[in-house]
Every structure is written in structure tokens, then in C-alpha cells.
């Protein structure tokens, strides 16, 4: 398992190699003098183009202990919610009726329910048909009434038109008659003189 002990600001360069000197950095926990240092050295080390930030051991220990506590709490929670095995003694259920009686009863209930549904469907269809027939009769009656009103209006229009036509003809005939009388009088006067 490889661990990264610091952040590299230039990922193209390998860790521990500086830009100018090409020297290797010592692994964490060892000082540059070559010995192992147990002192906590959390100061970031700058090497050319990158900075090495050593891990904080105290913080890491706190995170690990909290993770261990939480995993124990989760395990105890799972154990408390675990379903226990339930064992019951077998016993006969269903009361005092035999299986054949129950089957007959269910068949009878099924048939009754089926007949009830058929009757309900027939009744619904009958009512629907009656409603449709009533609507048809109502529409037919409205159409008859409208036809009667149209005929009545047509007769009234025809009557008024006939009266107007008769009046116009009479007026025309009166004018023609007056003109013919005036022509007779003038022609008589002219012939007499």
C-alpha cells in the first residue's frame, strides 16, 4: 500500500525531487540528518516547486478512534435490530368446517357474486338505453317543434309577402288606370278642338 505524505503542486515531477538540486527527500519520520525523529514536526517543508506537508498524527489518531467508536455503535445497533428466530407449534386452523364444505361455500359465493354482477351490468345497460331513448325522444320533439316554428314563420312571411305583392299590384294598376284616363281626356280635348 503506497501512501502519499504530502501535497505536490507540480504533478509532472516525482515526489521528493526539487527543480534545481534533484535531491531525494527523506520519508516522514526521519530527519534530514539520517536518524528517526519522534518529535512532532508539522511544519511544511518547501522544496523548489512543491511543498511537503507532513501528516498530523494526533488528528489522524482522533479520526481513527472516532471511526472505531462509530463502527462499534453501528454493529451494536445492527445486533439490537436483528430479527430473532420465532418458533411456533403447528396447529390446525380454519375452525370446524371441512375443506370440502369450505370449497362448496366459496364456489356458491363466487356464483352468487357472478350473477349479482351480471344483473348489475344488465340493469346498468337497461338504464343507459332508457336514458338514450329519452334523449332521442327529446331531441326528436325539439326538432318537430323547430320545424313547426319554421313552417309558421314561413307562412307568416308568405302572407306578408302576398299582402305586399297585392298592394304593389293595386298601386300599379291605379297608376296605369289614372294614366290611361288622363290620356283619354287629353286625346278627346285634342280631337275636339
Tell me the pLDDT tens digit for each residue of 151-165: 999 999 999 999 999
Residues in contact with 57: Cβ distance below 8 Å, sequence separation at least 6, in sequence order? 40
Spatial distance between the Cα atoms of 56 and 41, rounded to a whole number of angstroms: 9
Q: Maximum CA pair distance of the chain? A: 170
Residue 41: DSSP 8-state: -
Spatial distance between the Cα atoms of 148 and 154, rounded to a whole number of angstroms: 10
Residue 8 has pLDDT above 50, yes or no: no
CB 9 within 8 A of CB 44: no
CB atoms within 10 A of CB 28: 14
Of 22 and 53, the structure prediction assigns the larger pLDDT to 53
Spatial distance between the Cα atoms of 138 and 90, rounded to a whole number of angstroms: 70
What percent of the chain is modeled with pLDDT above 70? 72
Tell me the pLDDT tens digit for each residue of 89-147: 877 766 778 888 889 999 999 999 999 999 999 999 999 999 999 999 999 999 999 99
Beta-ladder partners of 173: none
Question: Where are the domains positioned within the chain?
Answer: 1-19+44-67, 99-147
Of the pLDDT bands very low, low, confident and very high (cuts 50, 70, 90), residue 190 is low
Residue 56: DSSP 8-state: -
CB 47 within 8 A of CB 13: no
CB 11 within 8 A of CB 49: no
Amino acid at each position: 500500500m503506497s501512501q502519499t505524505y504530502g501535497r505536490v503542486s507540480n504533478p509532472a515531477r516525482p515526489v521528493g525531487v526539487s527543480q534545481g538540486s534533484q535531491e531525494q527527500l527523506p520519508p516522514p519520520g526521519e530527519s534530514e540528518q539520517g536518524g528517526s525523529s519522534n518529535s512532532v514536526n508539522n511544519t511544511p517543508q518547501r522544496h523548489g516547486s512543491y511543498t511537503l506537508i507532513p501528516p498530523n498524527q494526533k488528528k489522524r489518531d482522533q479520526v481513527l478512534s472516532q471511526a472505531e467508536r462509530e463502527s462499534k455503535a453501528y454493529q451494536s445497533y445492527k445486533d439490537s435490530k436483528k430479527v430473532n428466530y420465532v418458533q411456533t407449534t403447528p396447529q390446525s386452523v380454519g375452525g370446524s368446517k371441512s375443506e370440502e364444505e369450505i370449497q362448496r361455500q366459496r364456489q356458491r359465493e363466487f356464483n352468487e357474486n357472478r350473477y349479482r354482477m351480471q344483473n348489475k351490468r344488465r340493469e346498468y345497460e337497461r338504464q343507459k338505453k332508457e336514458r338514450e331513448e329519452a334523449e332521442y325522444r327529446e331531441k326528436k320533439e325539439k326538432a318537430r317543434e323547430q320545424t313547426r316554428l319554421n313552417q309558421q314563420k314561413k307562412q307568416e312571411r308568405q302572407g306578408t309577402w302576398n299582402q305586399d305583392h297585392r298592394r304593389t299590384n293595386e298601386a300599379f294598376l291605379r297608376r296605369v288606370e289614372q294614366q290611361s284616363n288622363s290620356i283619354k281626356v287629353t286625346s278627346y280635348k285634342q280631337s275636339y278642338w
